[in-house]
Amino acid sequence: MQIKDLGEQGILQIVQKFCPPDIIGDDGAILDFPNSRNLVVTSDMLVDNVHFSDRTTSAFDAGWRATAANLSDLAAMGAEPLGITIALGLPASTEVNWLEQLYQGIKECLDQYQTPIVGGDLVRSPVKTIAITAFGHSRLDFKICRHVAQVNQVIVATGIHGLAKAGLEILLKPEIAVNLSDQVKQKFIQAHQRPQPRLDVLKILGEILVSESLPGQFQQPIAIAGMDSSDGLADAITQICRASKVGAYIDGKNIPIPPEMEKLVSEKEAINWALYGGEDFQLILCLPINIGKKLVQKLQYGATIVGVTTACDTDIVLVDSQGLRQKLTSDRSFQHF
């Protein structure tokens, strides 16, 4: 069945199943907002055959990934999610099942964080288009933004990079994964299809900041330099350094590569995937060394110090495992135009 067979009311009924009934049905949504918090907002638009494709992404996964990307942006601002709106443009020939699966993917990703879909729009379009806006609240005493890195901070990357790229490559060219066990293959594919925003890091980071900071050590509010690695680890490091006017020294040996990766590609290519693959949705943070070490420890080594910031306006230098130096550039894997 296609959505044009349902009519507008029928389509709305399907969509509204995924929303809290007391919040939708008006011109907008009214939500409780905690006192003494900032509002954080982020928007993304995804277009069929530009950002997702039936070849590699089911409707469920398209919904999950779009949601995870927006929640990751909130995490990258130090904000906890409050809700999202979804504006959808769909051809009249869209399968009803596709629409339901999209919402199911969105909802299952959100449910992990008890975050509701609070509204949106649903319109006719010649091309499937998903626009999500996520909003959350952040503490007044602590925020994350790009331009506040200082010289001689450690650069911490949560999680592992390159997994999502590996998953995508396996989906596109299954023959490259013949040497991998099904379990490992699934781990890589899962990283691509169902990434997890690192909202879990915020609470831990907040606790460390409170316990480690001596009076006067930080200006209030504490501003941490950071962003997410949605466009790749190299992009995140260069964006932060450029915005903060600092350089960086990245130790290639410290970029964590999962051991299974060597069955897939050379070490050099694995590092490339980690740096430029993108869509890992980890957090990249520049922190005073004591805070950075504590964070790595509290995350039970689910994070790594990959480098340090260097003097103002110096280059961002990557030293590989052979000791060769190269200038790191953003080289974004995905140019929008």
Q: Tell me the three state secondary structure of residue 52.
A: strand
Binding of its own copies by 161 (CB under 8 A): no
Count of positions on this chain that bind its own copies (CB under 8 A)? 71
Nearer to its own copies, 195 or 252 (CB): 195
Binding of its own copies by 20 (CB under 8 A): no
Contact map string, positions 41 to 60, toward its own copies, x by CB under 8 A: xxxxxxx--xx---------
The closest alpha carbon to 151, from 325, 17, 318, 289, belongs to: 289
Q: Among residues 59, 76, 191, 318, which is the contact residue for its own copies, using CB under 8 A?
A: 76
- Specify the DSSP element, H or E, that contains 289: helix 289-298
- 225 with 283: CB under 8 angstroms? no
Strand pairing class (79-90; 117-124): parallel
CA 20 to chain centre: 25
Binding of its own copies by 21 (CB under 8 A): no
- From the list 140-148, 153-161, 245-253, 310-318, the region that binds its own copies by CB under 8 A is 140-148
Q: Among residues 17, 53, 54, 127, which is the contact residue for its own copies, using CB under 8 A?
A: 127
Please state the φ and ψ torsions of residue 184, each to the nearest 5 degrees. Answer: -65, -45
Nearer to its own copies, 141 or 262 (CB): 141
Q: How far is the CB of 100 from its own copies (least distance, A)?
A: 16
61/75 Cα distance (integer angstroms): 20
Q: Which residues have CB under 8 Å from 70's CB, separation 6+?
A: 42, 43, 44, 84, 132, 133, 134
Q: How far is the CB of 298 from its own copies (least distance, A)?
A: 23
Binding of its own copies by 305 (CB under 8 A): no
Binding of its own copies by 106 (CB under 8 A): no
Beta bridge partner(s), residue 284: 157, 227
Contact map string, positions 226 to 265, toward its own copies, x by CB under 8 A: -xx--------------x----------------------
Helical packing angle, 163-172 and 182-193, nearest 10°: 110
Binding of its own copies by 74 (CB under 8 A): yes
Nearer to its own copies, 12 or 317 (CB): 12
35/29 Cα distance (integer angstroms): 18
- From the list 53-61, 68-76, 157-165, 300-308, the region that binds its own copies by CB under 8 A is 68-76
Q: How far is the CB of 330 from its own copies (least distance, A)?
A: 10
- 155 with 276: CB under 8 angstroms? no
- From the list 178-186, 187-195, 291-299, 329-337, the region that binds its own copies by CB under 8 A is 329-337
CA 233 to chain centre: 11
